[in-house]
Amino acid sequence: MATSTPAVKELRSVSIEALAKLNTLPVVTIRTDVDVDLWKQTRAFEDYAIFLRRLNDAVVGYVLPWTSSLPSQAIRSVLNLLDQLEGWITEIPPLSTPQRFGNLAFRSWGKRLEEHADDLLASVLPKSHHAAIPHLKPYFLTSFGSFIRMDYGTGHETSFALFLLCLSLIRFLRPDADEERHIVFDVFVRYLHLCWKLQDVYNLEPAGSHGVWGLDDSHFLGYIFGSAQLKGLSDIPVNSVLHPPLPPTNLYFMSIMRIHQVKHGPFHEHSSQLHSIATGVPNWGKVNSGLFKMYEAEVLGKRVVVQHVPLGGLLAWDPERSLSRAHGVAASATPAVQPYGYSLGPRALRTLEPLSGSASGTTPSWSITPASKGDHQQSQHARATPRRYVP
């Protein structure tokens, strides 16, 4: 049975009439570390924070498979879209010629996506919502990887979450607990399986992988939602992830088993952060709150990740609002960008403000000692001694 959770902020609504009056569309905007700090003060960042908190709280205590209610027509339309994209993988098989990094057939898949994006989105949305297509398209196109670099990473996953946020802002998807559970358990799970297949079939490279020291080479949100599911289940200890095979009853276990499929060797060597969490964090509540802060710092707070995220229009880039809010905040409250090659420990995380839309979570209980830049350049299959857990 699901446990009750504190209420989070309501997600604002943007009417199609108001959307049609906007004179900007999403474009790549973040280019410097200063831009990253400004983005954290924008309404777009606040909307995204509220959206993630709502999805997180909607799945606390629920297990997969979840079939307690029928999905709405909107959810089914998005699922049909993802099914169609997966069908293209069969129609565009990988090239048989030797290719070291990524298969060039992925560019053909991406070209088809770019050519048909407008029609695909028009088939999902009712005609009354077609004015939103130019605002949705940039996030949709950047949700499945880079067709130039032939890689995939947490920035692309974030683009898909922003795409779902936009669908919720225009009320194509309803911001209520039942619909939000379907967003996570139906849409996001379906998206994960599609992306895993794209990575496997087209041999996509991890985008900006931290090698053996990262949480995951390509994904993050599955761990947040999965730890939220487990937060309501006190009979499953955190260290249970160290004893595979794990049942696909939550997104955390599914993500761990995905790692075992694509990586080989001792878990503590190729996934030291996840191993540190499993051995050093006492309960799933602390795991969940810590992962939110890590996501803000290591994904949303990294220019190399969010510089590819388009902003504008529905998810407005409003530096004037950012600056006015920033003037009212002490400089010490602004989280500094961590040097590349360091992981956030408890002291660093205490300086970070939690994502908006919910009360501050507890400080994560895990940490690893600072790494040299060379550590991050190791192969994901490297056999290095894991760094010591610091309580």
CA distance 214 to 57: 25
Counting DSSP H helices and E strands in the chain, the numbers are 18, 4
Residues of the chain short of pLDDT 70, as ranges, are 1-7, 209-213, 319, 321-391
| Residue type (1 letter), 387 | R
CA distance 372 to 355: 29
For residue 276, CA distances in Å to 154, 231, 259 come to 21, 18, 15
Q: Which of 271, 276, 65, 92 is nearest to 185 (CA)?
A: 65
Write phi, then psi, for 110 (nearest 5 degrees): -65, -35
The string of pLDDT tens digits covering residues 13-46 is: 999 999 989 989 999 999 999 999 999 999 999 9
List helix spans (H) across 33-104: 33-39, 43-58, 73-91
Coil, strand or helix at 61: coil
* pLDDT of amino acid 7: 67
Question: Are 160 and 221 in contact, with CB atoms under 8 Å apart?
Answer: no
* pLDDT of amino acid 69: 81
CA 218 to chain centre: 9
CA distance 339 to 33: 12
* pLDDT of amino acid 292: 97
Question: Are 152 and 204 in contact, with CB atoms under 8 Å apart?
Answer: yes
CA distance 184 to 133: 22
Query: CA 212, 32, 295, 134 torsion: positive or negative?
Result: negative
The string of pLDDT tens digits covering residues 312-326 is: 999 999 867 655 555
* pLDDT of amino acid 97: 85
CA distance 47 to 40: 11
Across-strand partners of 206? 152
Q: What is the DSSP string of 316-377?
A: ---HHHHHHHHTTS-GGGSPPPPPTT----HHHHHTSPPPTTS---PPPS--B----HHHHT
* pLDDT of amino acid 323: 56
- Model's pTM, two decimal places? 0.82
